[in-house]
Structure formats: C-alpha cells, structure tokens
Amino acid sequence: MKLTQDEKDLLSGKKGEIVAKLMDLLVKMGDARGAEEMVDVYSVHASTVILEFTGYPGVELMEEVRDTGVKFKAFTTVDPISIDIEDWKTLGLSKDYAELQLRSVKAFGECGGVGEYTCTPWLVGNVPRRGQHAAWVETSAVIFANSMLGARTNRHVDPSALAVAICGKTPKYGFHLDENRRGEVLVEVKTELAEIIDYTALGAYVASKFGPKVYVFEGIPQGVTMESLIRMSSAMSTWGNVAMYHIVGVTPDAPTREAAFGGNKIQEHLVVGRNELNTIYDQFPRAKKGKKLVVIGCPHCTLVDLQKIARLIDGKKVHESVDFWALSSRTNKILARQNGWLQSIEKAGGRIVADMCWFCSPSLDFFKFESVATDSAKAAITARQRKRVSTLASTEDCIDIAIKGE
C-alpha cells in the first residue's frame, strides 16, 4: 500500500512500540485484501473487553495498552460485556469474575473509550455520518451502519478494531469502496409487514437464500420504524452474514432502484410474500411446559422498545416458570427508571439488564431453561444452537408467554 508520512511514522515506531505493532497488523490486513491505501477513521465500535470472549489475556492486553499511555484517536465505543456493572451481584456472578471484567472496563476507559456497553452504539452517540469511514465489529451494528447510516465499515474483529481505534486508520477495501456497496439482489416485498416480527422474518428469509450479497428491497414503506430495521438488520447479519442492504426510498444510498444498483445488473430476484415469511416462523415451535427464558433486546432495546414492554406488562405478573429479561444500554435503563418503565417491569417480576449480552455471560445459566422465547431472529437461532426449544414471536406474544408460562 501507499502510506503517507504520518502512516509511515506510526509503522516505524516513532509513536511507540505498541502503535507500531498495531499499525503493522493493519498494513498486513490491507495487503492481504488488496487495499491500495489507508483512510482516516473517526468512529470505532470494538469488542475488546468482553471477558467471556477474551479471557484473562484480553484483560492483560487492555492494561498493557493503557500502561503505555496511548489514547484512542477515534471515538470508540464497545460491545456489551459479560456483567451488568451495577447489578452483577444479583445475577449470581462471582466477585473474582466481576472484578476481572471491571479491570478490563477500567483500562478501556483510561485509553479514551466511551463507557457505554451496547450492541446499538448509534443510540448512545456513536453515529458516523453518511460517507464517513468507520471500523465496527458487532454483526448487527455493521449492517446498520452501512445500510441505514450510510457510513462505511467492514466487519472487524477484536485486534483490528483496537488497532484502528489507536492508529485512527484502516485499509481501504471492501465496503469502504463504492463498487462494493452497489446492489446485487432485488427483493420485492409483496405482503403487508404488519408487525416488527415480520421484518425479523423478512431479514432471516432473504439472507438465508443467497448469503452475503448486497440486497435491494422494494415494497417496504417509507414510514418503517427504526426498531423494525434494527431487527431486520440483525436477522440478515446472523442468518446470511450480510453486511449491507438498500431499501428504495428509505436508506440514504437508495433514492431509486437505479441508484441502489449503481449500474450493476440484478444477479438474483426474490419475491417475498406471507408464505415465505411463514417458512421462518415454522422453524420455531411453541414450547408448552418447562422452565422458560423470555428475552427481548438482541440487539439491545431502544427506548421505544422499553416503553412498549412496560406498557404491555404493567399490572401483570411473570409466571413462576419464566425468567423475563429486557436487555438495553445503561443510558436507556436510567431513562427507563426516570420514566417509571423500569418499576413497572420489576414489579411484574421481570428485569432490565444493562451493559450485558445475554449469551456472553456466565450469569445466565442457560441449561436450567428448557426453552427460550424471543422476538429476535438472532437470539432464536443462538438458543437453538444451544439445544433449547426456541420460539420466535412478536413482542406482544413474548409478554403473553412470560405471563402465562406457555
């Protein structure tokens, strides 16, 4: 690659040994991908402090970076971690485990990271504008950034995201290039998408057909909510490794079908009706008996989600055979408390869990549950992979299951 003088200085060690090592990683990554140059990055979403993933070596790495005095060049948030920072004791975690996670969190903050642990970083201030280069990890966040925000990011992993945060550079390949963002598959939606869950099923069905392509949707109304698009994005990234799509008349790079395809020929053509959506629903049977987990918030709940959950559950009681979790960011939990939604959920026997990913923490003893009910295609497929009966249902139906126990 062609490097600027500033980039050569980063690589040569003039900015420190650890910076040189991380810049070398980015250069090798760029060479492997055929990148010709680096681009400046202003937004990073990392996952370098999730204890369940990184273990003790990850804690040591963050503390090593911190101890060099290096600060992040890019605005950097991080994925959900393995504990609820304020309520870890009530979740049954050991003190040793929690303290190890908190060490990593502390080092991340001292490097300049933003202490908001969520898979929906655009809801807490990490909002790269259209055309701006970013480096994000979380699958459901990458596809949302490329598609809905119009930002430009490839799907990073822990080491590369940390390297970009410190160096402020990333190799220019993949979705940083115009030619890789153009539509490939046309999807015509020929059924009413009456509920958020229909968008979840739509994303899962489409992505499962052709995998990691750039899809162009027609037939989705302009008034579609962000909550619906978050669920659809998450389903597409999980079920087909999709990192970008367009919706004609909705997403920033698709004012027309022609603009979305950018001169590309249509490679495949899908028509989606109610029968196609039902093929997804039919994969997830309803469980009648046994201990159940009802989980909403994968990706993390928005304020709209939390308000809706509180309204649906207010004055009711979660069944004794059910654990009910709503996952969200720390900021949203605080706002839910201020608005009385947290109190309604807790009075009913549920809880809002902040900071945390539901399947990235030992606090969730997964094997005590015979089944999982969720409004997330990502959570549903994860539960099924862990050999649990998995039900994919609307938010309303999930609350009904939590109350009735079946």
On whether both 25 and 152 belong to a single domain, the answer is yes
Spatial distance between the Cα atoms of 105 and 83, rounded to a whole number of angstroms: 11
Q: Do the domain assignments include residue 286? A: no
Spatial distance between the Cα atoms of 210 and 216, rounded to a whole number of angstroms: 13
On whether both 347 and 399 belong to a single domain, the answer is yes
Q: Do the domain assignments include residue 210? A: yes
Please identify, among 220, 246, 281, the residue that sits at the C-terminal boundary of a domain: 281
On whether both 230 and 258 belong to a single domain, the answer is yes
Q: Do the domain assignments include residue 287? A: no
On whether both 13 and 161 belong to a single domain, the answer is yes
pLDDT tens by residue, 228-283: 999 999 999 999 999 999 999 999 999 999 999 999 999 999 999 999 999 999 99
How many domains, the chain? 3
On whether both 247 and 226 belong to a single domain, the answer is yes
Spatial distance between the Cα atoms of 334 and 81, rounded to a whole number of angstroms: 18
pLDDT tens by residue, 113-123: 999 999 999 99
For residue 43, what are its two tokens?
Answer: 């937004």
Please identify, among 253, 281, 309, the residue that sits at the C-terminal boundary of a domain: 281
Residue 264, pLDDT score: 97
| CA 346 and chain centroid, separation | 25
On whether both 19 and 134 belong to a single domain, the answer is yes
User: Which domain range does residue 362 map to?
Assistant: 292-404
Q: What is the pTM of this model?
A: 0.94
On whether both 244 and 196 belong to a single domain, the answer is yes
Q: Do the domain assignments include residue 10? A: yes
* DSSP collapsed to 3 states, the chain: CECCHHHHHHHHCCCCHHHHHHHHHHHHHHHHHCCCEEEECCEEEECCCCHHHHHHHHHHHHHHHHHCCCCCCCEEEECCECCCCCCHHHHCCCHHHHHHHHHHHHHHHHCCCCCCECCCHHHHCCCCCCCCEEEECCHHHHHHHHHHHCCECCECCHHHHHHHHHHCEEECCHHHCHHHCCCCEEEEECCCCCCHHHHHHHHHHHHHHHCCCCEEEECCCCCCCHHHHHHHHHHHHHHHCCCCEEECCCCCCCCCHHHHHCCCCCCEEEEECHHHHHHHHCCCCCCCCCCEEEEEEEEEECHHHHHHHHHHHCCCCCCCCEEEEEEECHHHHHHHHHCCHHHHHHHCCCEEEECECCCCCCCCCHHHCCEEEECCHHHHHHHHHCCCEEEECCHHHHHHHHHHCC
Q: What is the CA radius of gyration of the chain?
A: 21
Nearest to 141 by CA among 129, 123, 164: 123
Is-contact 315 343, C-beta < 8 A? Answer: no
Q: Do the domain assignments include residue 113? A: yes
Q: Do the domain assignments include residue 275? A: yes
CATH number, domain containing residue 45: 3.30.499.10
Q: Do the domain assignments include residue 134? A: yes
On whether both 28 and 95 belong to a single domain, the answer is yes
> At which residue do the structure tokens 């898979």 appear?
119
Please identify, among 225, 254, 281, the residue that sits at the C-terminal boundary of a domain: 281
pLDDT tens digits for the chain (406 residues)? 999 999 999 999 998 999 999 999 999 999 999 999 999 999 999 998 999 888 999 999 999 999 999 999 999 999 999 999 999 988 888 999 999 999 999 999 999 999 999 999 999 999 999 999 999 999 999 999 999 999 999 999 988 999 999 999 999 999 999 999 999 999 999 999 988 999 999 999 999 999 999 999 999 999 999 999 999 999 999 999 999 999 999 999 999 999 999 999 999 999 999 999 999 999 987 766 778 999 999 999 999 999 999 999 999 999 999 999 999 999 999 999 999 999 999 999 999 999 999 888 887 776 688 889 999 999 999 888 888 888 999 999 999 999 999 8
Burial of 48-62, coded b for 16+ CB within 10 Å and e otherwise, reads bbbbbebeeebbebb
On whether both 353 and 217 belong to a single domain, the answer is no
Nearest to 174 by CA among 375, 70, 36, 48: 36
The interaxial angle of helices 226-240 and 377-385, nearest 10 deg, is 30
Nearest to 51 by CA among 90, 94, 114: 94
Residues composing the chain? 406
On whether both 261 and 306 belong to a single domain, the answer is no
On whether both 171 and 194 belong to a single domain, the answer is no
Q: Cα–Cα distances in Å, from 299 out to 225, 228, 243, 342, 359?
A: 15, 11, 15, 19, 12
On whether both 382 and 310 belong to a single domain, the answer is yes
Q: Do the domain assignments include residue 167? A: yes
